[in-house]
């Protein structure tokens, strides 16, 4: 079935990291798990055999990984599965900045004219990550099943990444060898008559086609907005070079729900042919039930007018909290030592505010408020999740 230009495509893209939490893997890794549902005209799906590793693996963290990716296309109100991919990965070894990972996956792509129906893929990754940059080397092999004209595929690749502020960039290059099986007619001579009347027979012939792809992927996160532009240049000697772009944008309307948009140009299919032309645009929603608020401790909560604070034990066992906040007219405290009631601090002199609190030795949780604004964390104090999807500062009483 040929999908026309006005075909409505439903694209389900999902990534699920760490479904079973192995020892040593933080629950925070679940922050990467999400499911995106898109509606719109979508470009053909094509994945690299040796794609760049997920951000958490690039950074030297990681753990188990499970990725689901699928597309259902509808044409003439008839839904049809176009693509399903399931990848599972394991962190095999990690020492200091080095890591070794392996990914195995299966792809099901029914009814593709290339015959590339089902495919098993294995990828090994070697990563090195430093302070805010790193590199990886990757090797992969794929074996198609049920394909008549495609043999095994091998890929070697690598890349570098760096991170600066809210921007991270990853550059990748990979080279893929695809074994093509072809039937060609060869002239055969079995008897003298064949020299007079040419006779031909179909003979199987295999040849390797090499392709190279260079990709540059960025991730920019600014408050609620997340933008991921990716550009690629795909080169096959017989077809020349073809460029493509894809940009994903997500706007988090709540910590676990985002509006998702994608714009993508022509893509290249498994048989190296250009399958779609023009720009494609999809719009959808991104659900991240396990996602914690970006950055967890919101930076704005830590950049306040509070210049300095201290907690000091007094002779009678009580504790004095002193806060220096220039230009502030009122400072409130809400803490376990006040039974989470709002208590106003007294102005000592100028910009200094104080309150005396009673509490036993150990950690105590608190938030402060300036000029009846939002409740804030004390800058540079240890923090802790509060069980109500927020954070508290931890004050340690002697």
Partner 1 sequence: MTRRRVVGFLVVTGISALILLPLGRDVSAGAVDPRLTARLDKSTARAVQSEVDRARTEGLPTEPLVLKALEGAAKGASGRKITTAVRRHANALGVASRALGPATTEAELVAGAGAILAGAAADSLRSLRTARGDSSLVIPLVVISDLLARRVPAREAEEIVVGAWRAGMSTTDLLRLREGIHRDIQDGMEPSAAALRARATTDRSGVRTK
**Chain positions contacting partner 1, by CB under 8 A:** 23-29, 31, 56, 59-61, 96-97, 129-132, 163-166, 292, 295-297, 299, 302, 334, 336, 339-342, 360-363, 365, 380, 382-388, 390-392, 394, 396
Spatial CB neighbours of 232, under 8 Å, sequence gap ≥ 6: 213, 214, 215, 216, 243, 244, 245
Spatial CB neighbours of 373, under 8 Å, sequence gap ≥ 6: none
Question: Three-state SS string across 38-81, please?
Answer: EEECCCCCCCCCCCCCCHHHHCCCCCCEEEEEEEEEEECCEEEE
* Dist. CA 319–CA 370, nearest whole Å: 21
Please state the closest distance from residue 372 (CB atom) to partner 1, in A: 15
Cβ proximity to partner 1: between 242 and 291 the closer is 291
Residue with tokens 């994945």: 47
Please state the closest distance from residue 237 (CB atom) to partner 1, in A: 39
Please state the closest distance from residue 94 (CB atom) to partner 1, in A: 8
Please state the closest distance from residue 57 (CB atom) to partner 1, in A: 10
* Dist. CA 110–CA 380, nearest whole Å: 55
Please report, for residues 263, 319, 371, the alpha-carbon distance to residue 344 in angstroms, rounded to integers and kept in the order given.
52, 15, 10
Cβ proximity to partner 1: between 91 and 276 the closer is 91
Cβ proximity to partner 1: between 28 and 186 the closer is 28
Cβ proximity to partner 1: between 61 and 176 the closer is 61
Residue 332 · residue 353 · CB < 8 Å: no
Cβ proximity to partner 1: between 344 and 384 the closer is 384
Please state the closest distance from residue 292 (CB atom) to partner 1, in A: 8
Can you say whether the dihedral through the CA atoms of 93, 66, 386, 221 is positive or negative? positive
Cβ proximity to partner 1: between 134 and 284 the closer is 134
Please state the closest distance from residue 139 (CB atom) to partner 1, in A: 24
């Amino acid at each position: 079935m040929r999908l026309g230009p006005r075909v409505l495509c439903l694209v389900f893209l999902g990534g699920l990291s760490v479904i079973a939490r192995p020892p040593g893997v933080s629950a925070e890794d679940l922050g990467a798990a999400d499911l995106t549902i898109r509606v719109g005209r979508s470009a053909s799906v094509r994945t690299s055999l040796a794609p760049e590793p997920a951000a958490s693996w690039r950074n030297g963290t990681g753990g188990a990984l499970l990725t689901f990716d699928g597309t259902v296309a509808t044409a003439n109100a008839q839904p049809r599965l176009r693509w399903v991919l399931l990848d599972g990965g394991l962190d095999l070894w990690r020492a200091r900045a080095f890591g070794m990972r392996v990914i195995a996956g299966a792809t099901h792509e029914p009814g593709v004219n290339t015959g590339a129906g089902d495919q098993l893929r294995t990828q090994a990754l070697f990563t090195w990550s430093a302070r805010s940059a790193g590199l990886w080397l990757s090797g992969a092999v794929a074996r198609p099943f049920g394909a008549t004209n495609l043999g095994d595929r091998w890929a070697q690749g690598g890349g570098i990444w760096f991170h600066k502020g809210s921007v991270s960039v990853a550059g990748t290059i990979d080279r893929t060898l695809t074994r093509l099986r072809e039937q060609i007619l060869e002239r055969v001579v079995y008897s003298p008559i064949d020299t007079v009347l040419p006779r031909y027979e179909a003979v199987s012939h295999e040849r390797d086609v090499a392709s190279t792809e260079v990709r540059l992927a960025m991730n920019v996160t600014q408050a609620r907005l997340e933008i991921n532009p990716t550009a690629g240049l795909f080169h096959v000697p017989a077809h020349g070079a073809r460029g493509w772009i894809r940009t994903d944008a997500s706007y988090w309307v709540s910590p676990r729900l985002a509006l998702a948009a994608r714009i993508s140009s022509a893509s290249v299919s498994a048989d190296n042919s250009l399958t779609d032309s023009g720009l494609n645009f999809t719009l959808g929603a991104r659900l991240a039930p396990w996602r914690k608020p970006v950055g967890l401790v919101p930076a704005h909560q830590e950049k306040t007018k509070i210049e300095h604070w201290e907690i000091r034990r007094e002779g009678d066992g009580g504790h004095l909290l002193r806060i220096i906040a220039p230009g502030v007219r009122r400072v409130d405290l809400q803490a376990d030592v006040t039974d989470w009631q709002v208590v106003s601090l007294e102005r000592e002199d100028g910009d200094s505010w104080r309150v005396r609190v009673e509490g036993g030795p150990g950690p105590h949780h608190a938030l402060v408020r300036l000029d009846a604004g939002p409740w804030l964390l004390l800058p540079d104090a240890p923090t802790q999740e509060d069980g109500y999807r927020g954070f508290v500062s931890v004050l340690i009483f002697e």
